[in-house]
Amino acid sequence: MAGKPLWRKAFDAVESRAAGPVEAGAHSDVLGDLITLNVRIARRAQQEVERRTRRLLHMANLPTATDVRRLSEQVAALQRELRELEDRRP
């Protein structure tokens, strides 16, 4: 049976050397903290954008993401109530 092609041998050699340090980096506290920070900043930025655009959209009589979210929460609540009724049915 033919062995691995040369390019694959080279790839495996690089990958086996790189995997350890890359995994160590991915599993490090620093990256964990960075991801945590990134998620928090992104959430705050999104909230801020929503807050600032809300008045503008409402002036144009357009719904905001928050409005849509509230509506969809209400639909979900209705669905849950329907399920409960369905479950109680003999």
Partner 1 sequence: MSPSLAPADLLSRVQRDVERAAQRGRNGLRYAAGTSRPKLGQTPKDVVWRRHKAELWHYRNDDIKVRTPVVIVHSLVSRSYVLDLYPGNSAVAFLLKEGLDVFLLDWGVPDEADSGNRLEHYVDDGIPAAIAAACEAAGTEEVTLLGYCFGGVLSLLSAARHPELPIRNLALMATPVDFTKMETITALVREGRLDPEEVVEPTGNVPPDVIENGFRLLKPTAEVAQYANLWENLWNDEFMEGYQAMGQWARDHVPFPGAAFRQTVEQLVRNNALMEGTFELGGERVDLGVIRSPVLNIMAERDHIVPLAAAEPIVDLVGSEQAEELRLSAGHAGLVAGRKAAKVTLPGIAGWIADHSEKA
Complex with partner 1: residue 48 or 73, whichever CB lies closer: 73
As measured in angstroms, the least distance from the Cβ of 69 to partner 1 is 5
Q: Name the site residues for partner 1 (rule: CB under 8 A).
A: 2, 4-5, 8, 11-12, 15, 18-19, 22-23, 25-27, 32-33, 35-36, 39-40, 43, 69, 72-73, 75-76, 79-80, 83, 87
Q: Is 24 exposed, middle or buried (0-12, 13-18, 19+ CB in 10 A)?
A: exposed
Q: Is 53 within 8 Å of 64 (Cβ atoms)?
A: yes
Tell me the C-alpha distance between 45 and 29, whole Å.
24
Complex with partner 1: residue 46 or 56, whichever CB lies closer: 46
For residue 85, give the amino acid letter. L
As measured in angstroms, the least distance from the Cβ of 89 to partner 1 is 12
DSSP label at residue 28: S
